[in-house]
Amino acid sequence: MTDEDADALFHALAHAHRRRIVDLVSAQPGITVGRLACYFDVSRIAVMNHLATLERAGLVLSEKAGASRRLYVNTTPIQAIYERWTNAFSGHWASHLLNIKRASEQAAQKEKADE
Amino acid sequence: MTDEDADALFHALAHAHRRRIVDLVSAQPGITVGRLACYFDVSRIAVMNHLATLERAGLVLSEKAGASRRLYVNTTPIQAIYERWTNAFSGHWASHLLNIKRASEQAAQKEKADE
DNA sequence: TCATAATGTAATTACTATATTACATAAGAG
DNA sequence: CTCTTATGTAATATAGTAATTACATTATGA
C-alpha cells in the first residue's frame, strides 16, 4: 500500500457521511445514487462528491445500469488497513493500553545508552 | 466510538507524516519532540501540529520530562478501528472482494420487491 | 419524438488544513 | 544569574474540502 493509497483511504473514512455511505451501500448492495442521497440532509451533489472520494479510495465500486448507477462496497482496502496496522503494532497489541511509566523507564535507559 | 472520535482518528491517520510519526514513536517509545522532528524535512512546528492532531485522536500520549516532552503511542484507538470495521463487514470478509455481478442480480430482485 | 427522471458537470463560497517565520516561555549547565 | 537548548504560541500565506445552485447530459417510456 503506497502513501497515496493510504492517504486516500483514511481521508475517505474521515467523514461521518462517507462512513455512513459505506454502511448503507454495504447493507444494500446495488443501491442507486439517488436512493442513497435520500438518506442524507445534504444535497445529492454533496453525496456524489463523497462517492467520488470513496471511489478514489477503492472503497466503493459502481456500474452503470441504464440511467442509474449501482453502487457496491469493496472491502479489500479495509483489509489492507487491518494488515498494515495490526502487524505494525502486534508487539504492543497484547497490553491494549500502553503503560507510560514502564516505557518511560525504558526510554531513560535508552537515552543513557545513546550517549 | 462516536462520530467525532472516528473523524479525529481517521483524519489523524490520513497524512503520511503522521503515520510515520506513529511508526517512529512506536519504535522509539519516549522519544522527544526535537529528536522526532529531525526525521522530517518540514519544520519542528509542523511536526508539533501533527503531534497535536495525533494526541487529539488519542494515538499519541506525552509526558513532560524536564525541558523535554516524551512521546508514546497508544494502540487502543487502532484496535477500535479494527473492531468497528471488521465486525461491520464480517459478512463480506470471507470473499475479500465483492462479486459485482451477483450483487447486481440481488439488487435487481430487491428493486422489484420494493415496487 | 417529447417529457421525465437519473445522473453528471461547472462555478462559487465558506471553511479547514498544512506549512511557514518570528517570538515567547521553561528547564538545565556552568 | 546567564547562556543554551527544548518546547510552546501567534500571526499568516497557501492550498484543499465540503457544500451550494444552476445547467447539461443521458436513458426510459408514452
Which chain A residues in 13-72 sit with Cβ < 7 A of strand D? 14-15, 17, 41-43, 45-46, 49-50, 53, 64, 66-67
Q: Which of B17-21, B79-83, B109-113 has the lowest mean pLDDT?
A: B109-113
Maximum C-alpha span of chain B: 70
Query: Which domains are seen in chain B, by residue range?
Result: 1-115 (1.10.10.10)
Is pLDDT of B34 > 90?
Answer: yes
- Cell numbers representing residue B9 in the block: 482518528
Is pLDDT of B97 > 50?
Answer: no
Instruction: Give the whole-angstrom CA distance, residue A93 versus residue B18.
Output: 20
> B85: pLDDT confidence band, cut at 50, 70 and 90?
confident
Name the strand (E) or helix (H) holding B30. none
CA atoms within 13 A on the CB side of B73: 26
Within 10 angstroms of residue B5's Cβ, the number of other Cβ atoms is: 15
Residues in chain B: 115
**What percent of chain B is modeled with pLDDT above 90?**
63
Instruction: Give the whole-angstrom CA distance, residue A7 versus residue B70.
Output: 27
Note the Cα B9 to chain centre separation in Å.
5
Residues in chain A: 115
CA dihedral B74, B76, B79, B84 (to 10 degrees): -130
Pairing of strands A31-32, B60-65: unpaired
The DSSP result for B12-27, as a single string, is HHSSHHHHHHHHHHHH
> B99: pLDDT confidence band, cut at 50, 70 and 90?
very low
- Closest nucleotide to A31's CA, by C1' atom? C6
Is pLDDT of B95 > 50?
Answer: no
CB-contacted nucleotides of strand D (7 Å): 5-10, 17-22, 26-28
Bridge partner list, A62 = A71
- Burial B29-64, CB ≥16 within 10 A → b, else e: bbbbeeebbeeeeeeeeebeebbebbbbbbbbbbee
